[in-house]
Structure 1
Amino acid sequence: MTENSEKILVRYFSNILDEIVVETLWTNIIDKSKGLYEIDNIPFYGPEFSCGDIVFAEYDKAEERITFREVVKSSGNSTVQVIILDENINVENLRNEFNALGCESEGTGNNYFVMEVLYNQNYSQIFNKLTELENTDKISFAEPNISQKHLDEK
């Protein structure tokens, strides 16, 4: 990353994993003296914020690093988690399909990825595709952080 970047630690309960998760995320430093950082990658397992959100983080002695405390300003972006249930589906091909709809994604393994839905994107086509795949038992998906704008577009 750049000298204006910083990794912060986030500890939260993940509904996907059904356990406490520790994740480090890249951020852009907004104002280090005030503890303000902009999340710069897609969270994997479901904290209640998305890429582009401004958060407050501070050094935590127990964690021995800068640690997330709260969201200061939401970007309006949403995060969607996708688990592939059908072993005949290629994860990269599916990620490319959603990329064509404007969703960047990050994956781990052969059956799980997270997508970012930008605020200015219309969610209805993306949601319809997700729902179609879920209704045919090809995937399961969750919306750990969905903006009100995207909820209204379903």
Structure 2
Amino acid sequence: MAAEKNKVEVLFKYDSPILEEAIIEVLWAEVVDEEKGLYQLKSIPFYGASIATDDQFHATYDKEETGLLYRQTTKSSGNSIAVVAIINEEYDQEEMVAAFEKLGCTVEELNDRYFAMEVPKRIFYGDMKKIFDKYEKDNLEYAETYLSAKHQADLRRGGK
């Protein structure tokens, strides 16, 4: 029960590259230091927030929004976020999701055609690209909504 008390909802306001509009997304975070306004993200963003799970960030109470509002990331976890939209209505995504989960990704489905996933720092991002390349043709579109410095370095090293 103590762990539940340590979680709070935080509002993230940003221009979504996925929806191509300004949005407010409510995500769960763990309190790191309430006095300093420091939190650690625990939810997977669905629409393109420039933050990943386990990143630490600063948030303050916003009277207008009547809640905690994200201000800036203070410490990167090295994790990344990717989103996938299934474009082939007959395509069954279970095999692809299983491949991502086997690598160690956490997948959160919004519905049967759209999901977001956490890509942990320990994963070599080239392995992710192989899965995306395998399933992309005529089946899905994907976006790397937040790519950590570690995963960017993986791609520069020949991650394809």
- TM-score normalised to structure 2 length: 0.90
Q: Specify the code of the residue in structure 1 equivalent to 2:6.
A: N
Task: Tell whether 2:149 aligns with 1:148.
Answer: yes
2:96 maps to 94
What secondary structure is seen at the aligned counterpart in 2 of 1:71?
A: strand
Q: Specify the code of the residue in structure 1 equivalent to 2:109.
A: G
| Distance in 2 between residues matched to 1:107 and 1:21, nearest whole Å | 19
2:82 maps to 80
What secondary structure is seen at the aligned counterpart in 1 of 2:8?
A: strand
1:99 Cα deviation after fit: 0.7
What secondary structure is seen at the aligned counterpart in 2 of 1:131?
A: helix
Contact 2:17–2:48 (8 Å) recurs in 1: yes
Give percent identity, aligned residues only.
Answer: 36
Single out whichever of 120-129 and 69-78 deviates more from structure 2. 120-129
- TM-score normalised to structure 1 length: 0.94
2:115 maps to 113
| Distance in 2 between residues matched to 1:32 and 1:96, nearest whole Å | 37
Structure 2, unaligned stretches of length 5 or more?
none
2:44 alignment partner, one of 42, 45, 55:
42
1:54 Cα deviation after fit: 0.2
Single out whichever of 125-134 and 68-77 deviates more from structure 2. 125-134
1:58 maps to 60
Aligned residues: 153
1:23 maps to 25
| Distance in 2 between residues matched to 1:107 and 1:89, nearest whole Å | 15
What secondary structure is seen at the aligned counterpart in 1 of 2:46?
A: coil
2:15 maps to 13
Structure 1, unaligned stretches of length 5 or more?
none
Q: Which runs of 4+ in 1 moved over 4 A?
A: none
What secondary structure is seen at the aligned counterpart in 1 of 2:4?
A: coil
Single out whichever of 36-45 and 118-127 deviates more from structure 2. 118-127
| Distance in 2 between residues matched to 1:55 and 1:90, nearest whole Å | 36
1:95 Cα deviation after fit: 2.0
1:90 Cα deviation after fit: 2.2
- The structure-2 alpha-carbon separation of the partners of 1:121 and 1:49, relative to structure 1 and needing over 3 Å to count, comes to same
